[in-house]
Chains A and B, each alone.
Chain A
Amino acid sequence: MTYEELLTQTALADDRFIVMTAENRALVRNIPGKLGNRFIDTGITEQTMIGAAAGLALRGRIPVVHALASFLTMRAFEFVRTDAGVPNLPVKLSSFIPGFLSDGNGPTHQAVEDISLMRGIPNMTVFAPADEQDLVMMLPEIWKHPHPSYVRINTRKTDHQHSPFKLGKAEIISKGDDVTILTYGLLFEQALIAVEILKNEGLSVGLINLRSLKPVDEQAILEATRESAITITLEDHFVTGGLYSIVAEVLLKHCQTAKVIPMALKDKWFKPSLLPNVLEHEGFTGKQIAEKILGYNTNAYQPEISIPQFSE
């Protein structure tokens, strides 16, 4: 099932749902004709859309709002914080092309501080699915929860078969003594490749798909960092405020020490290009990730990375 099919099916079955967009219809092109006046496009007005979503939620609706991740989280930040966060209204933020998924757009469109911003808002929950199957698995739980949520939308298809989603629980793909990779979102795809390469080099490798960054699965983080010699946090986000920071907070809270190495954007925006080039240039292909962990180059094969098919 696709994101759009799930949203359509959910909204048709439950008239509390309102689908909104600030003129970013990429994910919802077929919905207008199906939902009648429960599809609302406010135009290029992220702030007003969020305020209006709060007003709709006040009347018992569940608004699922769509905009580009950078504008939804940054231009409308205070509206998200003040109009959805303070009153704890179930405004559901569907954030389009977050992280490296805004491959060619340039810094204006790069949401690489969104996790940091959104998790800083009381009442807000934060999710980052690994692919479309993961997304479709987690959304019903998230949408029925009575809190505002932020979802880093990722509609890419992978071959991975995910396990059922449980709110606040990470997906443990494998456990390993030598190294565990903690990751979320788009880079899960590359982490799978990296894990294969590392295993072929003889390492015992763990892989965890965090899924939910707030609430975060503290137990999974504590166990992984305890059981592995090295833990890698892998994310298409600034190193500050994202998963690396979350892991640091969890370890400190539980008085646990661990060797944790961040793989993230180090205080700069990424070079715009098509996704495969971006990943290669920034050092985030599966092969590059594995080789950084190993400390040497290999002859491993890097599978082709597909170019995103969507547009604004």
Chain B
Amino acid sequence: MQSSAIPIDQLEATALKVREHIIKMSTDGGCFVGASLSAADLIVYLYSEFLNINPNNLNDPDRDYLFLSKGHDVPALYGTFAELGLLEKDRLKNHLSLNDHIYWHPNTHIPGIEFHSGSLGHLPSVAIGVAMDIKIRGGKNKVICIMGDGELNEGTCWEAALVANAHKLDNLIFVIDRNHFQANMPTEELIPLEPLHDKFTAFGAAVKRIDGHSFESLHEAFSAYPFETGKLNVVIADTVRGKGLPSIERRADRWFCNFNAEEVESLLKELHGEHLTNLTSETLVVR
């Protein structure tokens, strides 16, 4: 395997910064912290290393495309954009401000966001349309759609997998942020998804299952793109909801969080391993 062009420690440093941004956005109205932290490493890796997307080619039809179908993780995207120069860092302070477009779901007022999302199970099909057009034109660009594991409850994800396979869209990659949680509870308690690898394989996809927090694993998987000629690529990235903050990791009630200023300070210290945070449940909101 080739080593990534960007050193692993640099990717990790970027991801740490992105997590800081997510925590800072979790106050004054809050955001979907747990879902954003699980996807942060994925998003950092894809924009930093894998995708041909940069501030200068956002309207170039030959760029790569990333669709964030699991819209709750958009704070991770805002943070990554800020770190990679696609978004001015100062704008992150405008989270939920009427004077900007930085809110709980992706929207195309932010350059670099390809399509709005929020209603689950939509962007797999939009990504299919883009991948189809690239195929028709003989382009080489890649199309990624990040989906949540809870999102896989939506039948249109599976409809899309059937269609992508039927149309041999090997330029399309579905990335599943497999953090094992729905909004309110563990996936396997509500709508079990396992054996997920086998399910996608049975739908005709070429599937890789990896540790979604290991940049080595991410690089090993994505550098094998396309996984098989003529097949939809699927990456199941096993992740941890709330990754980086032990006090909220893997907790069903830490889906949407609205922390107060003191808690944000404390969480930032926890992120850097200084000490464990003692959060008061009153300030944690489950929407």
Contact = CB atoms under 8 A, between A and B. Distances in A.
A42 interface: yes
A60 B61 CA distance: 10
A54 B126 contact: yes
Interface in A62-101: 63, 78-79, 82-83, 86-87
B160 interface: yes
B116 A55 contact: no
B43 interface: no
B129 A52 contact: yes
Interface residues of B, number: 28
A82 B122 contact: yes
A237 interface: no
A45 B159 contact: yes
Interface string A35-74: 0011010110101111111111111110100000000000
A78 B116 CA distance: 14
Interface in B123-175: 123-136, 156, 159-160, 162-163, 166-167
Contact of B160 (A40, A48, A58, A82): A48
Contact of B125 (A37, A48, A61): A48
B129 A82 contact: no
Contacts of A79: 122, 125, 156
B162 A53 contact: no
B119 interface: yes
Q: Chain A at the B interface: mostly helix, strand, loop or mixed?
A: helix
Which of A59, A61, A78, A82 has the most chain B CB within a 10 Å cutoff? A59
Given A42-B163, A78-B119, A47 B125 contact: yes
Contact of A55 (B61, B119, B130): B130
Contacts of A48: 124-125, 128, 156, 159-160, 163
A55 B159 contact: no
Nearest to A59: B133
B114 interface: yes
B50 interface: no
Given A48-B160, A79-B122, A55 B131 contact: yes
Contact of B136 (A37, A53, A57, A82): A37
Interface string B78-115: 00000000000000000000000000000010000011
B159 A54 contact: no
Contact of A40 (B122, B124, B132, B134): B132
A38 B136 contact: yes
Given A51-B126, A52-B126, A43 B166 contact: yes
A55 B126 contact: yes
A87 B125 contact: no
A57 B156 CA distance: 20
Contacts of A43: 162-163, 166
Interface residues of A, number: 28
A63 B128 CA distance: 14
Contacts of A60: 61
Contact of A51 (B116, B124, B133, B134): B124
Nearest to A40: B132
Contacts of B124: 48, 51
Contacts of B135: 37
A65 B192 CA distance: 35
Given A58-B115, A82-B119, A86-B116, A50 B133 contact: no
Contacts of B130: 55-56, 58-59
Contacts of B159: 45, 47-48
B162 A55 contact: no
A52 B163 contact: yes
B122 A55 contact: no
B125 A56 contact: no
A57 B167 CA distance: 18
A31 to B, nearest CB: 15
Contacts of A56: 129-130, 132-133
Given A55-B126, A56-B133, A78-B119, A47 B156 contact: yes
A237 B81 CA distance: 49
B122 A83 contact: yes
A58 B114 contact: yes
Interface in B159-200: 159-160, 162-163, 166-167
A60 B129 CA distance: 11
Contacts of B133: 55-56, 59, 61
Interface string A14-49: 000000000000000000000001101011010111
B132 A55 contact: yes
Interface of A: 37-38, 40, 42-43, 45, 47-61, 63, 78-79, 82-83, 86-87
Given A51-B160, A61-B133, A83-B126, 6 more contacts: A42-B166, A45-B159, A45-B162, A53-B129, A59-B134, A82-B116
28 contacts: A37-B135, A40-B167, A43-B162, A43-B163, A43-B166, A47-B159, A48-B125, A48-B156, A49-B125, A51-B126, A51-B160, A52-B126, A54-B125, A54-B129, A55-B125, A55-B128, A55-B130, A55-B133, A56-B130, A56-B133, A58-B114, A60-B61, A63-B129, A79-B125, A79-B156, A82-B122, A83-B125, A87-B108
